[in-house]
Structure 1
């Protein structure tokens, strides 16, 4: 059997095959997903192992367990596939001006109603030469919290970040101030703090559980806001879950004023004053520089979003237009 050179064995198809087997957990399941018979898939893996002169899978069990070498190939292979997709995106962008994909990281405190208004408007952009309505760019939205919003941007996982809590931490991105996000400290009417004397001091708050939303950062240092040392903490996965926990009286905490306004008016939540006063945090939007030196202008999709975000009305809506949100 003629063994292909090692540098010709690591094709996109071979890397994608490794990824499919690892995700599905078995050769049989991977074969079904890829539309092949198991024997053909096993033969392809064996060819790759022979070409690299390594064992990629441990065949002592019926499951497809990667060896250490196989795990390394999987990690690097996924990275290479992402880089190849990035090259394809750049090629299409150069040819048409529209990015193939635009990923937007949105902080969970931003108003979803305003965000979906923007998404709807984006898909209504008339584009010549397109057989379907809207631009050819595929939008990908991801929800992040606190430092996770920055991390998604500076790590290259997002092209635009909306609702960052600080200015650009590096010179590789641009940022603009959206406005101040007003937070309200509140509890359910049956929570003990609802009957406490106000304004509340730190000692009084520390005696009760505080509800927070987990920072989604993995590499950057996570941020925790408003927690007193030694205080009991209930960490929720989203702002919507935090609101539900507050309504149930599971603790106290801060939420955007516009998110809780209707609950305060209906008496389902009670706003409390503290010695720290009103919490208001500056909120920004940011985007990565294009090109190695930042001189390349952004693609047409990112340019459209930046144009919308330059509007004071749009910025205010993203900070305040929580009414009508289904929680």
Structure 2
């Protein structure tokens, strides 16, 4: 067997993406490189992983079985690598923290202030992005820890735990025709365009999907701006719905037969790093900090 871990990772990405070209974009590689890596892997294994007879490649029965094995091998390799990092020479005074762009700023500032007090010599790098960004940064080692709304799907390479929740509200722009409706319920909302926050790696959002007229994006702030412009209605975290620059542009409304649960905030890290001192401190702090309460 002469297959490589890079080929396995390409196989997993291609199996999870709708096409080889989509996998190539996700990996930042040319489509030909993805196709070649999979062909070499198939040759090494003497097994056809994809059926290429249709419009798009699809997993063969053997490919489906080996996909689970490939994911587990990659998970074990990541665990090994992360454990070595936590035991290695990297100074504990360094931390790369990735934050969901939609988290409440006061809670973030409290966390940074607490880090400063606990680790005065800390070399801190903060990054803000979408759930998709944070998942990628963690997997690729570009971030040590992530704080994000629970929009990252289960991943054997990542571990997580809930640290709080943020209430959500239903909003429309101040001139939206929904405000003229005598009553607002699920049936009423279905007559107007819905603006839905959906990370690009999430396929099933049926629980949130109400209107047949739908626009999607992975940015909470883009959704808020679109709602303020009257392009549709949306369900947003309270802190974004009441963000200062949107003051007066969004109106919070109530649907009689719908309730929108608070959006959970999770702490994410790469599996195998549980013993890292800074991660242990973060887990203790967040268990009692502002994210442990519903915040707005």
TM-score by length of 1: 0.54
Which residue of 151, 164, 176 maps to 1:191? Answer: 176
Q: How far 1:297 sits from its partner (Å)? A: 4.6
Tell me the residue number matched to 1:270: 251
Count of aligned pairs: 245
Q: How far 1:288 sits from its partner (Å)? A: 5.7
Distance 1:244 1:277, change over 3 A: same
SS in 2 for 1:301: helix
Which residue of 130, 138, 145 maps to 1:143? Answer: 130
Tell me the residue number matched to 2:198: 214
Alignment map for 1:1-327 (pairs within 5 Å)? 69=36, 90-96=83-89, 106-115=99-108, 117-119=110-112, 121-122=114-115, 126=119, 133-135=121-123, 142-144=129-131, 160-164=146-150, 173=159, 175-179=161-165, 181-198=166-183, 200-217=184-201, 221-228=203-210, 231-261=212-242, 266-281=247-262, 283-287=264-268, 291=272, 297-316=274-293, 319-320=295-296
Distance 1:249 1:300, change over 3 A: same
TM-score by length of 2: 0.59
* Alpha carbons 1:107, 1:162 under 8 Å: kept: yes
CA RMSD of aligned residues (A): 5.2
* Alpha carbons 2:171, 2:252 under 8 Å: kept: yes
Larger radius of gyration: 1
Structure 1's unaligned 5+ residue stretches are: 1-6, 13-21, 26-64, 75-79, 128-132, 321-327
Write out per-residue CA displacement over residues 116-153 of structure 1, whole angstroms, 9 at most, x where no aligned residue. Answer: 553465466547xxxxx415x866665216xx97x769
Structure 2's unaligned 5+ residue stretches are: 7-26, 42-72
Q: How far 1:174 sits from its partner (Å)? A: 5.4
Write out per-residue CA displacement over residues 79-103 of structure 1, whole angstroms, 9 at most, x where no aligned residue. Answer: x9x9999866543421457569866
* Alpha carbons 1:153, 1:287 under 8 Å: kept: no
